[in-house]
Amino acid sequence: MLGILIEEYCQRELYPWGGYRRINHLLGAKKVIDAVGELGGHIKNERQARPLLRLVKEPEKLKAAVTLALKDNPDPSVSDFAAAAQKVVPQLPRKKQSIQEPMVPKIEEPVVPQFAKVTVSQQSHPRYGEEGTIEADAPNRWQQIVTFADGERLLINNADLDAASAIRFS
C-alpha cells in the first residue's frame, strides 16, 4: 500500500519532468553510465542506455556491449546499443503472460448440428412451434438455414431454435 502511495506522489510531483516512468529511465541510465566507467561518455541520452540496463549487473558484458556498439559506429544510436546488447547476451522473445479476459463476456450461442430437425422456439418468430430441417451450411456460427415442410428456407438465429430438439439424420 505504501509503495502505491509513494508511486502516486512521485507521479503527481514529477509530472512536469515526465513523471515516475521518466525518472526511472533517468535513474537506469545513471546506473548504466556508472557501471560502464569511462565508456559512459559515449552514451548521450537515457534512451541509448535503456537496452543496456539489463546488463548492468554484469559489468564485463555491459562494457563488451558498449565496446561492440562503438566498434560498429563511432557515434552509436539507440538501435546500435540494442543490437550490441543482443549480440553479447541474446534475449529470448517474451512469452505472453496471460490472456486478459474481455471486459464484455462473450455470449455463447447454442450450437445446432447440421442435417438436424429443429423447432422454432422463440414465440416472437412467425414460424414459432414449427419444425424444420437444417440441410445447408450456415453462413455463420449464430444462424442456421432452416427448410420447412412447405419448402420455404429461412435464415434463423440459433437462439430462436430449440437446439435440444435437434435430431441427427443418419
Q: Where are the domains of the chain?
A: 7-88, 116-168
Tell me, what's the pLDDT at 2? 65
For the chain, 170 residues long, give each residue's pLDDT as a single digit of tens. Answer: 666 677 777 667 766 767 667 778 888 888 888 888 888 888 888 888 888 888 889 889 988 998 999 887 888 888 888 888 888 888 877 776 666 666 666 666 556 555 688 899 988 888 999 999 888 787 888 888 888 989 899 988 888 888 665 544 43
**At how many degrees (to 10) do helices 19-36 and 2-14 cross?**
90
pTM of the model: 0.47
Residue where the block lists cell 415442410: 149
CATH code: domain 116-168 is: 2.30.30
Tell me, what's the pLDDT at 159? 86
Distance separating alpha carbons of residues 49 and 116, to the nearest angstrom? 65
Tell me, what's the pLDDT at 169? 43
Distance separating alpha carbons of residues 144 and 111, to the nearest angstrom? 10
Tell me, what's the pLDDT at 139? 81
C-alpha cell at 13: 510531483
CA of 5: how far to CAs of 2, 11, 28, 70, 163, in Å? 5, 10, 22, 42, 54
Tell me, what's the pLDDT at 129? 92
Tell me, what's the pLDDT at 167? 46
Q: Is 52:31 a contact under the CB 8 Å cutoff?
A: no
